Amino acid sequence: MPDSPLDAHVRFDTHPAHSSAVIATPTGTHRRTAQALLAARGFEPLDDAMVLARIDHEEPYWADQAAQALNAEGITTEITASLLEAITEEWTWANYPMPWCTRAEIREVSNEAQKIYDDIRHGRLVIHAHAEDGWTTVAVGTYRDSGRSVYLHGENHLRQIADTFDSPTQALTAFECAHGNALHPGPAPMTDTERQTSQARTSFGSPDTTPAPAVPPVESVPAYAADPGDHEALLEDFLTENGDWEKYRTWDDNTTIANHESLTLRALFDHDAQSRDSKWTIAAYETPVSERMWHMAITPATPAPILKTLLTALAAGDAWETALESPITDKTVAQATLPLTDAGWTCTVDGRWLRWQTQQSDVGVQFDAFAAHAPHTPLDTWTIWSGPSIDHPTWAIRASGYTPAGLLADLAEELAHGTGTRQTRSGQPRRVKHIAGSTPAAPPPPLSTRLRR
């Protein structure tokens, strides 16, 4: 604490036209000192005040950090009730692609993305080219001060440095080799989030006089990258459309059990499942009183198109009939994965595991040969997943050895060729209760690694 307080006072308040931006209004003889300290923490001048507007919507948190820093310098601060409420609110991004991250780790990832965004905006990082890579944007650029070239993956709060190069020529050569005709010179167009953030820094007025859309903006994406939608509604629709199924709720009201009239197929739906828990557990039996023949577990974030395909196959009946004594053969595996092979997915062998993946390695199917021939093992024979890696998937379906090849083939067909919709990441974050994990976020694969695939 300084020997004597500075004659400066800063009032922090929410932005009148931006959902998360923060306004700081310095007053007093030493207000310029306060302005300088605020500028060092990301605030930018606007009229007689200063504005903090970020692409990760974490302004309340960083405003609180700035207030504490000003207090330590002997400057008094005031935080309005509305901003204090935003500071103390616990939230995270809906459908965050790295759900295992803690709240602090999510903030760390987005802060690094903010630094990259600021470097680009202020000309410290010059972008040479960009390309559309699946449902996101990638780019390559060079830092003016160090001459280091970088490969950027993602947009807004998810942008990361995925690889580095010694020179712009080396970086552009690798980038063109990886993305070919998809390459476009210069930086990508501003996202909606970047545009709104820019408007918040330049005006206290409404950024757009056009009425807000009634529904969030959506984009068309591969089925495996689509939003999960409302799983409970999908279950109700399935039961309504298939009269040969009946349901009942457990005594604690946490689980719905759907039974086929033959009593040889059952689906358990956990209404309270979170994160990596099993939202759905599907099991088939040879007779109503026999042991389970095969089973399948499905996580809550599984996309709606994938789940609809699975439920359609279950309703068809013949897709899930199987015999307990039928072993898994090479022919069975080939039948189950034929749509992936036809779509050009890469198949690799790693010991007892066979893996099929796209070139981007953002979705895959794994077959465990050991588990397939050990009927009493708790290990999963089949794992269908999408996300950063099979160890940290955004969603996953895990199935036992005798899961019918026809059912797996239907899912593989949807993975390879199906499409769905997803709320665009440029929309505002939907605030939801945060489920904390413990594993730090894994960066996207380096460009050099992708070139070797």
pLDDT digits (tens, 9 = 90+) for 120-144: 999 999 999 999 887 789 999 999 9
Establish if 419 belongs to a structural domain.
yes
Which residue, of 32, 62, 88, is where some domain finishes? 88
Is 411 a domain residue?
A: yes
Write the single-letter amino acid at 1: M
Are 73 and 37 within 8 A, CB to CB?
Answer: yes
291 and 367 fall within a common domain: yes
- In terms of residue numbers, what domain contains 40? 9-88
Whether 263 and 404 share a structural domain: yes
Closest CA to 121 of 183, 194, 66, 193: 194
| Residue 213 domain-assigned (yes or no) | no
313 within some domain: yes
Both 73 and 172 in one domain: the answer is: no
Q: What is the domain count for the chain?
A: 3
Which residues of the chain are modeled with pLDDT < 70? 1-4, 92, 94-95, 205-217, 251-253, 275, 317-327, 375, 424-453
pLDDT at 6: 81
Q: Which residue is associated with the tokens 């974030």?
A: 301
Residues 254 and 300 in one domain: yes
User: Is there a single domain that holds both residue 252 and residue 364?
Assistant: yes
Residue 216 lies in a domain: no
Closest to 147 (Cα-Cα) out of 165, 163, 173: 165
pLDDT the model gives residue 268: 92
Structure tokens at 218: 């959506």
Domain contains 372: yes
Whether residue 187 sits in one domain with residue 265: no
* In a shared domain, residues 182 and 238: no
Identify whether residues 419 and 440 lie together within a single domain.
Answer: no
235 lies in the same domain as 352 = yes
Shared domain for 71 and 117, answered yes or no, is no
121 & 248 share domain: no
pTM score, whole prediction = 0.51
Of 20, 37, 16, nearest to 205 (Cα)?
16
Helix ranges (DSSP H) in 273-404: 304-316, 330-342, 369-372
SS3 128: strand
Residue matched to tokens 């922090």: 12
Same domain, 157 and 236: no
Confirm whether 211 is domain-assigned: no
Residue at 32 is within a domain:
yes
